Structure 1
Amino acid sequence: MVNYSEYNDSQKPALNLLQKMGWQYITPEEVFSARGELLTNVLLDDILAKQLAKINAFEYKGASYKFSTGSIQGAINALKNVPNEGLVQTNERVYDLITLGKSFNETVQGDRKAYTVNYIDWKNPENNVFHVTEEFEVEGRKGKRRPDIVLFVNGIPFVVIENKRRDKNDSLEEAISQNIRNQKDKEGIPKLFYYAQLLLAVHPNEVKYGATGTPAKFWSVWKEDVERAVSKLLKKKINNTQAEDRLVTEQDKGLYALCNTERLLDIAYKYVVFDGPDKKICRYQQYFAVQETIQRVKTRNKEGNRQGGVIWHTTGSGKSLTMVMLSKALALDTSIESPRVIIVTDRISLDKQIFKTFVNCGKHVKKAKSGNDLIELLQDKGNEIITTIIDKFEIATKRTSFKDESQNIFVLVDESHRSQYGSAHANMKRIVPNASYIGFTGTPLMKSQKSTSKKFGGFIHKYTIDQAVKDGAVLPLLYEGRSAKLSINKKQIDKGFERLAAPLNEEARKDLKKKFATIGKIYESDHVIEEIAYDISEHFRENWKGTGFKAQLAVPKIDTAIKYQKYFELQTDPAIKINTRVVFTPPDSRQNNDDVWSDSTSESKKYWERILERFNDQEAYETWVVDRFKEETDEVELIIVVSKLLTGFDAPRNTVLYLAKPLVAHNLLQAIARVNRLFKGKEYGHIIDYVGVLGKLDEALTEYSALEDFDEEDLKNTVVDVKEEIRKVPIRHAEVWDIFKGVYDKNDIEALERHIAEKDVRDQFYERVSAFARILQTALASDDFYNEFSTEQIGFYKSELKKFQSLRLSVQFRYAEKVSYKEYEPRVRKLLDTYIDADEVQVLTKDVNIFDKNMVEEALESYGKSPASKADFIAHQMKKVITENMEKDEAFYKKFSQLIEETIKNFYDGRLTEKEYLEAMQKTRNDLASGYQDGIPESVQSNPKARAFYGALNEVLNKKLDKEISKNKVAEAGVEIEEIVKKLIITDWKKNVDIQNKMENQIEDYLISKRGQFGIEISFDEIDEILIKCLRVAKNNF
């Protein structure tokens, strides 16, 4: 069996590859020296100073001058002393400094002017220096942390890497978690992450990356075919590394793709945006889309204008940010003179959203308020980014003959499948005839549109639904058809139509059928609305209410929306009521080129007037609804929509789309994508279809009329039949029992609990129980589960979940793990609430103070298990206390930890009976509670702080202390050192270097003066070691 270690499996290969890629290795000792021997300093000052002097110069009257030492030091100080405004905000300040530089006054020939000192030479990457080190130790507020690998550019920490071995469960998640923990103010080393531009979690089989502040669910994979290039590089001897003849790993590919020195600087400079409170770094599809677009616009068509094209990035994969990154890349490209960008959408809501995104990302953007305003904005060449609705081009062409013939205008058309291919394109061409047109779409192009797209240069880049789902950029969509639940007799409806239409001519028959007999009309009738509303109420209440997840209901028209709203309002019982709101375009507006208020009743208009009585206008009402929908509050749990908010609406907790209106083509794909966003605890988006848009989903998607105009390949993985997930219930159930293969009697709870005594095995058990619970919850929410499985089978799986959960709670109690429902996804908690006795959970979730004998006895009494399980409970409660207090008195707690582990081993090896095991643990608990430990002198037994200083001395001097008298003298020294420390303690002393130095000096003087009394010789090296330990004890106890 291969014995993996983190260093050999991941860290060492990473260091070797990085050196071959041009990163110069510096030892931790050299790094310590370069940072002024201060563990709180994360900049390599010496290297930074040297580089700033090297890469910076300014021109005065044609001559080049170097910056003064004062300016160089000022630049270093500016970078070092960036005020702490919170993690991401401070990172943004640093980002602005390193990308824009800092101005300093220089005087030449008596003339004083300001010139910019740059921290990095972005234009000439080879002028920078790139260093890599390992085990980079940084001191935070609560101790030290050591990221595995850190990469420096010009002495600035740019990349932080956490390595993991390949054979551990969830090792990549652990690496991400470490990166996130290390960013925290209290327990981490946030200062390092003020400067970091890229964070990596790696092991040989997987790599994910993020930025400072990126939540775990948004860490991304990078996909690029670099295997051949990496393989060649590995075989070379470069920078003191040996040639490696081995297979290329995913870790190698990820490091090569992201940490190539030129690529890293390119990403940091052009592909990072601060979107409000979040820092975002490009995903691979965004990077390559922008790169390929830049290359495309540098080629010319036969008229001599810049080429354009179409970017298809599936909805939910960050299309708006791609537009921001493209605009930034165009602005920074020195080969394009005075580039200007016009962002075009066909909806007010999308225009607002994109405008807001650009503003949040710190971009100076102007929004055209009218056709005339659009012309005025275009006439001012200083407006680098303009957003507008496409209709304003039409208005502008009617009122003016203005043309801007610049070839450096770039028109980015959002959702171009709707507007780019119509007459609107001609209007844009009249005003900016020589512009480069780049269409963005979140849905695949129809077959008919693909040929049309070629006149704009064809596709530039694709990121399909299938790719996005596989990358985890969006969630898979589970589809369930529920039209069969409705008592709609379509044959009878058709017969009724024939009778009604009999007297009419063919033209009139067609008109009547179009107006009255479409399938959509069926779903506007009162009895169908009641049936669907009732089913939604039941479905949402049983599966989603109280979980924090939200839903949308799509209906055919305003009247229908208000009928649904009134139905939901009639439910007054808080236990079953769903809090719903309608969102639609107000009267006299147009949406999707249809008047959504046409044929609306006066009742609907009255309802709208009542809404306006509470809110000033439509925008205030909609903002209120959307804000509460996006929050965890249950004030708005479901929104009823006609077409507004079915496109361009981003609410990550939006999880269920109830379809009660026919949708086709792009509208269908856009609508279902509303629920594909990532959100904590959300595994799928759910599509509940009452109109049979995709029938039983048993054919190719293009066989359905709703999607017949698309290519099948482009629709791959768009939706997954819920039946496929339901069929996984027996598989997930079997996977839980697979863990207990070695247990003969599956009803022997004691045997089951002992079988998962090891934490790795327990974690695997918890993970599989959660997976089983999630899939069972999904199944129970679907009618198909009750059709495919018998009542007995369903009852069996429910009872099995209860058994697994009871076992889980018992084991967590036994092994002193935190027992909490909160660790479950909200939906699974809802499922467990149905099948688990709340009292049982309450008993097991009480905190137990291991030092309170009565509380321990009470807990064990209520637990009511075997002596061995009680002993395990006491042992693991003690281990928990020891872990929490280890830093306060390492010597004392380490000895108890060893004693506990030894006792556990003796029992599991059969050397102790259950009774003896329990008695041994009870005695150890009593000793730990009283502070008693064999061999510790009496003078410090009852004084924890003095005992901790004694332990620090004893750890260094133990081998020499062979006489009892020596131990007692050392114990006295522990008491004396405690007194020295107590006298020096002042407010915030841990941040006061002078006090710490004084403390070290006085302890050192004391040890030198008293060492003769110990009866042993103490070297100065030993004194230094004692000082380090004593200062640590002081920091953790005072």
Structure 2
Amino acid sequence: MIGGEKASVQNPIIKYAVDNGWEYITPDECLRMRQGETGIILREIFEAQMMKLNPDFMDGNIINDLIKKIENIRPTVEGNREMWEYLKGLKTVFIPYQNRDRNLKLIDFDNVDRNKFNVTDEFSFRNDRFSTHPDRPDIVFFINGIPIFIVETKSSQLLNAIPIAMEQILRYHKEIPELMVVLQSFQITDIIKFFYGPTFNVSDNTLIEWKRNDRNFEELVKAFFDKSMVLKIIKDYILFIEADNEIKKVILKTHQIRAIDKIIDRIESKDKSRGLIWHTQGSGKTFTMIVSARKIILDPIFDNPTIIMVVDRNELEQQMFENLKKVGFENIVVANSIDQLRKLLIEDYRGVIVTLIHKFREMMPEISKRENIYVFVDEAHRSVGGKFGNFMMGALPNAKYIGFTGTPVASTHGPNTFMIFGRDDPNGYLDKYGIIESINDNTTLPLTYKIAPNHLLVKKEILDKEFLELSELYGVSDIDELNEVLRKQVTLRNEMKNPQRMDEIAKSVAEHFKNNVEPLGYKAFLVAVDRESCVIYKKLLDKYLPKDYSEVIISPYYNDDEEMKKYYHSEEEERELRKRFKDPSKTPKIFIVTDKLLTGYDAPILYAMYLDKPMRDHVLLQAIARINRPYESQGMKKQYGLIIDFVGIFGYLKKALLFDARNLDDIMFAIQNIELLKERFKNLIEEMKKDYLEPLKGLERDKIVDEVISMLKASEQKRNDFYKKYNELKDLYEILSPDEFLRPYLTDFKDLTSINLILQKLFGNKNLPYLEFSRKTADLVKNNTIPENIPVITKTYELNAETLKKIMEKKGNTNEKVFNLMITIRDYIEKSLNESPFLISIGERAEKIAREFTSNQINSEATLEELKKLVQEILEEKEEQSKKGYSKETFAFYYFIKQKDLKDPEDLANKFMQLTNKYPKWFSNPTQEREIKRFLIKELMAKNYSAKDSTVIIKEIIENLKKGIKNGQR
């Protein structure tokens, strides 16, 4: 299906929706029902459905009040949550004649067919704050007259189609938040892939690919816009989370939705009582647990159940309780002791119980024989296989058990996660979301590691004897268990805590952080062997970094001396430190830890882990999973998590990860030696040098830009290949720099960066020299000590008659003249649009000429002549603007009138100026705008233009004028 965006993507989506039972409404009919471009609700449909769903109290006055409330909800994430609460039926409405509040139903979630499903395209909307030209989302989906989903479609042939669609969604949030606050989800697609995400929490990190067993595009679209699925998304799969005094909106990913469906099926099963959800670390298991629990609690079929959320650490117990509270659970209690847990079970508590696995110790057998008890075990690879698990299952013999883990244990000698939770499934698990799949989905990131110099590593014989070969550490799954074993290994700990070694490591960490991590805007963990080492490292780091850069996070211990107690933090202080750590603009930048925060703490800004603690198996994977979270901020996008290994564990990675052979290949794929990245950088830059730099060898510098344009102008595919390779090369450079390894490649990398800049300036829509570069690449471009063969273009010419003459007389090929003139025009218009909004029209014509040139529709000579005419026109119009003395808006109107070759342009311009004085808020007031249009249409008709022509002309001129003023940021 090849063709334009509308024909190949937009129209098929509407067809598939109609096949699914959605009713299509034309844009004109939609506009009529909304009563104009500022309306949001399809009023006729909304009124009929409100009467149908709320028959015993609804009337016209209440409906009008509801429409006003919905169309005036605060355009913020708080407002978006309020709208979601309306949709879910969590809001009431006051009924005056009954003098009471009644529950309000906007959607019938129990009876799908009682709802009205509509879809439209080219949805023209503008708000009351700006009477600008309207935004036009491609497709909007409605339920009962309320817009629910917005779809942006792009052609598959468009380079960077998905990022461009994302920019469009972000623009809608800025320009028409009144519409976006009602919508609950957005979808973007280029027909190759289909993505969705939550409104009011939009970023690459919240963008989710919709996957359904490798179905084709039609099946994907129909599965997503299935009417029952849409209701599930609204009712079950959207969450609003309050964390750090901030509301975040979450929409579940496809693997979470899939797992929840399987969990509910297993809970309903008559002959199966257990299930294992094997989802890799960092993929959102907590939300999967919480939403599953909420569905069970709210569904009458489960007959007022009890759900027991089992964790195995105090910190995780409180964290689970907080997470449940954040999503609105009410019947929830933490069992703070063995006695309290026993009491809750004896008294037949209904709701959610959060508890530690250890609190089942010595629990009496068959304390409850109820069947509607559902036990969700977090980190199911740990203590469940021991005596505490036996006590739990003996106490609740008829309960159903669902285990959740990213690192199952497959031991033949001890606990086996698959045997405990996976016995009802042939593969040993109910659902799996593996590391490779997670990385491919950008749910988690791959990890790369670098081993420290040999003189800082633990001696191999000591590491083997006192760690790698210890049988009691095989399959270790708990960090307290690991700590207990390490505490006994005196030789190992003494070597690691050698003062000279620790000082050298602290110095190395400080230098690496300043050069490699801080310039990228990220943060780091330093993981020490024990609590005392944490304090020592803090003192040492303070020698090499500002004191506020680092903080120790450790648990108190009854036997600590006064020196250790200096580094304690109260719960409130630690909470504040955790919050500050997630903020790129605040300190601390490095947390020094030994066990705290190595499980459960989620800080996507965490990029580097300096590892000076022997770890293995599940404990190692849990710890390093802290750095695998995607993160994007201020143009920086995290590509990897980085581990600097000061122990030497990663030199024996297979030996350290022997706990589960079937997971080992995936893990090894996800954790790469940084030397592999260097090899990839070397191969990629050599490949690009051959393809793009060698053809430029021997050319004079003034011929190089021309040759770059000639080389890459002819083929869009060749340009796309360059962009793809260069972006990968740039990401690798950011990760590796600074490193001696890069020295031989710096000139070539700078030359390729220059080519990229030339292409962006000519083929891009804006002149943005450094925005796409992060700090390291931008610094290299600006660094004159690195030689280059290709001119680094960092500024444009001033646009004047002398400039035009210089460009035209300059020796060289016409291509280079086109380039210089094009970017000069772009730069001038961008800088001058605020004072000269008439330039919006010339800018659009310039871009049209550029597109025709780059797509080979016109040759370079013709392009140069067209651009030359534009420059001359700009100079002439600027001179006339100065002479006329009009306001910038009036001169723009005068210019557009002249472009239409209308009679008496000065007379019309003077009348327009008088009108804008009479209606000074015309730009933000639709009523005043209508008055100006009405008067001007009459003026044209008085000059013998037809009513139809007059209306079309004035409407187009006013829209162009508003577009110019808007882009110039009035």
- Give the structure-1-normalised TM-score: 0.78
Give the aligned residue type for 1:95: W
Does the aligned pair in 2 maintain the 1:26–1:132 contact within 8 Å?
Answer: yes
Does the aligned pair in 1 maintain the 2:449–2:643 contact within 8 Å?
Answer: yes
Residue in 1 that maps onto 2:144:
154
Instruction: Map 1:317-332 to 2 at 5 A.
Output: 317-332=283-298
Structure 2 unpaired stretches of 5+: 468-483
Per the alignment, in what secondary structure is the counterpart of residue 388 of structure 1?
strand
Distance (whole Å) between structure 2 residues aligned to residue 644 and residue 757 of structure 1: 55
Give the aligned residue type for 2:621: L
CA 1:494–1:813 in structure 2 vs 1: closer, same or farther (change >3 Å)? closer
Structure 1 residue aligned with 2:919, among 980, 984, 1000? 984
Distance (whole Å) between structure 2 residues aligned to residue 641 and residue 354 of structure 1: 22
Distance (whole Å) between structure 1 residues aligned to residue 89 and residue 318 of structure 2: 29
Residue in 2 that maps onto 1:286:
256
Residue in 1 that maps onto 2:402:
438
CA 1:905–1:427 in structure 2 vs 1: closer, same or farther (change >3 Å)? closer
CA 1:29–1:836 in structure 2 vs 1: closer, same or farther (change >3 Å)? farther
Cα-to-partner distance string for 1:907-953 (whole Å, 9 max, x where unaligned):
98464899x99986764552243247xxxxx9969665444434555
Distance (whole Å) between structure 1 residues aligned to residue 463 and residue 9 of structure 2: 67
Does the aligned pair in 2 maintain the 1:770–1:824 contact within 8 Å?
Answer: no
Does the aligned pair in 1 maintain the 2:796–2:827 contact within 8 Å?
Answer: no
Residue in 1 that maps onto 2:371:
407
CA 1:866–1:495 in structure 2 vs 1: closer, same or farther (change >3 Å)? closer
What is the deviation of 1:92?
A: 1.0
Per the alignment, in what secondary structure is the counterpart of residue 529 of structure 2?
coil
CA 1:540–1:56 in structure 2 vs 1: closer, same or farther (change >3 Å)? same
Structure 2 residue aligned with 1:971, among 906, 922, 946? 906
Distance (whole Å) between structure 2 residues aligned to residue 177 and residue 220 of structure 1: 16
Does the aligned pair in 2 maintain the 1:896–1:928 contact within 8 Å?
Answer: no
Residue in 1 that maps onto 2:451:
481
Matched, 1:801 2:749: yes
Instruction: Map 1:272-671 to 2 at 5 A.
Output: 272-276=238-242, 277-300=247-270, 307-364=273-330, 365-374=332-341, 384-394=351-361, 397=363, 403=367, 405-429=369-393, 434-447=398-411, 448-454=416-422, 459-482=429-452, 484-486=454-456, 489-490=459-460, 515-516=488-489, 519=492, 521-571=494-544, 579-588=549-558, 605-612=561-568, 617-633=569-585, 635-671=587-623
What is the deviation of 1:295?
A: 0.9
Per the alignment, in what secondary structure is the counterpart of residue 145 of structure 1?
coil
What is the deviation of 1:426?
A: 4.0
CA 1:212–1:670 in structure 2 vs 1: closer, same or farther (change >3 Å)? same
What is the deviation of 1:905?
A: 11
Distance (whole Å) between structure 2 residues aligned to residue 899 and residue 299 of structure 1: 65
Residue in 1 that maps onto 2:674:
722
Does the aligned pair in 1 maintain the 2:88–2:107 contact within 8 Å?
Answer: yes
Cα-to-partner distance string for 1:227-260 (whole Å, 9 max, x where unaligned):
3xxxxxxxxxxxxxxxxxxxx4xx3243122111
Does the aligned pair in 1 maintain the 2:139–2:151 contact within 8 Å?
Answer: yes
Cα-to-partner distance string for 1:743-766 (whole Å, 9 max, x where unaligned):
554754333453457997778656
Does the aligned pair in 1 maintain the 2:846–2:870 contact within 8 Å?
Answer: no
What is the deviation of 1:111?
A: 7.4
Does the aligned pair in 1 maintain the 2:616–2:656 contact within 8 Å?
Answer: no
Per the alignment, in what secondary structure is the counterpart of residue 607 of structure 2?
strand
Does the aligned pair in 1 maintain the 2:9–2:153 contact within 8 Å?
Answer: yes
What is the deviation of 1:477?
A: 1.0
Give the aligned residue type for 1:22: G
What is the deviation of 1:479?
A: 2.8
CA 1:178–1:895 in structure 2 vs 1: closer, same or farther (change >3 Å)? closer
Q: Percent identity?
A: 25
Does the aligned pair in 2 maintain the 1:194–1:212 contact within 8 Å?
Answer: yes
Give the aligned residue type for 2:264: I
Q: Larger deviation: 481-490 or 376-385? A: 376-385
Does the aligned pair in 2 maintain the 1:656–1:675 contact within 8 Å?
Answer: yes
Does the aligned pair in 1 maintain the 2:798–2:828 contact within 8 Å?
Answer: no
Matched, 1:203 2:190: yes
Give the aligned residue type for 1:677: R
Does the aligned pair in 2 maintain the 1:476–1:676 contact within 8 Å?
Answer: yes
Residue in 2 that maps onto 1:129:
116
Does the aligned pair in 2 maintain the 1:208–1:220 contact within 8 Å?
Answer: yes
Does the aligned pair in 1 maintain the 2:517–2:607 contact within 8 Å?
Answer: no
What is the deviation of 1:412?
A: 1.9
What is the deviation of 1:718?
A: 3.6
Per the alignment, in what secondary structure is the counterpart of residue 381 of structure 2?
helix
Residue in 1 that maps onto 2:480:
none
Per the alignment, in what secondary structure is the counterpart of residue 301 of structure 2?
coil
What is the deviation of 1:995?
A: 3.0
Give the aligned residue type for 2:298: L
Residue in 2 that maps onto 1:139:
126
CA 1:333–1:483 in structure 2 vs 1: closer, same or farther (change >3 Å)? farther
Does the aligned pair in 2 maintain the 1:555–1:661 contact within 8 Å?
Answer: yes
What RMSD in Å do the two structures reach over aligned CA positions? 4.4
Does the aligned pair in 2 maintain the 1:740–1:752 contact within 8 Å?
Answer: no
Distance (whole Å) between structure 1 residues aligned to residue 485 and residue 106 of structure 2: 73
Give the aligned residue type for 2:827: Q
Matched, 1:999 2:957: no
Matched, 1:92 2:81: yes
What is the deviation of 1:46?
A: 1.0
Residue in 2 that maps onto 1:8:
7
Matched, 1:189 2:176: yes
Structure 2 residue aligned with 1:48, among 46, 50, 72? 46
Cα-to-partner distance string for 1:352-399 (whole Å, 9 max, x where unaligned):
32223223323334434444554666678786333333344449x59x
Distance (whole Å) between structure 1 residues aligned to residue 231 and residue 156 of structure 2: 29
What is the deviation of 1:634?
A: 6.0
Distance (whole Å) between structure 2 residues aligned to residue 156 and residue 894 of structure 1: 36
Distance (whole Å) between structure 2 residues aligned to residue 298 and residue 264 of structure 1: 23
Distance (whole Å) between structure 2 residues aligned to residue 371 and residue 494 of structure 1: 40
Distance (whole Å) between structure 2 residues aligned to residue 514 and residue 193 of structure 1: 56
Give the aligned residue type for 2:683: I
Does the aligned pair in 1 maintain the 2:281–2:406 contact within 8 Å?
Answer: yes
Cα-to-partner distance string for 1:864-898 (whole Å, 9 max, x where unaligned):
x9866643442332454687789757667667777
Distance (whole Å) between structure 1 residues aligned to residue 743 and residue 588 of structure 2: 34
Residue in 2 that maps onto 1:234:
none
Distance (whole Å) between structure 1 residues aligned to residue 782 and residue 151 of structure 2: 40
Residue in 2 that maps onto 1:508:
none
What is the deviation of 1:811?
A: 6.6
Structure 1 residue aligned with 2:705, among 750, 768, 776? 750
What is the deviation of 1:123?
A: 0.7
What is the deviation of 1:667?
A: 0.3
Give the aligned residue type for 1:981: T
Distance (whole Å) between structure 2 residues aligned to residue 709 and residue 899 of structure 1: 60
Structure 1 residue aligned with 2:628, among 660, 667, 676? 676
Does the aligned pair in 2 maintain the 1:777–1:831 contact within 8 Å?
Answer: no
Per the alignment, in what secondary structure is the counterpart of residue 473 of structure 1?
coil
What is the deviation of 1:478?
A: 1.2
Does the aligned pair in 2 maintain the 1:290–1:329 contact within 8 Å?
Answer: no
Residue in 2 that maps onto 1:964:
none
Does the aligned pair in 1 maintain the 2:706–2:816 contact within 8 Å?
Answer: no
Distance (whole Å) between structure 2 residues aligned to residue 385 and residue 453 of structure 1: 21
What is the deviation of 1:729?
A: 1.4
Structure 1 unpaired stretches of 5+: 59-65, 228-247, 498-510, 589-596, 787-793, 933-937, 962-966
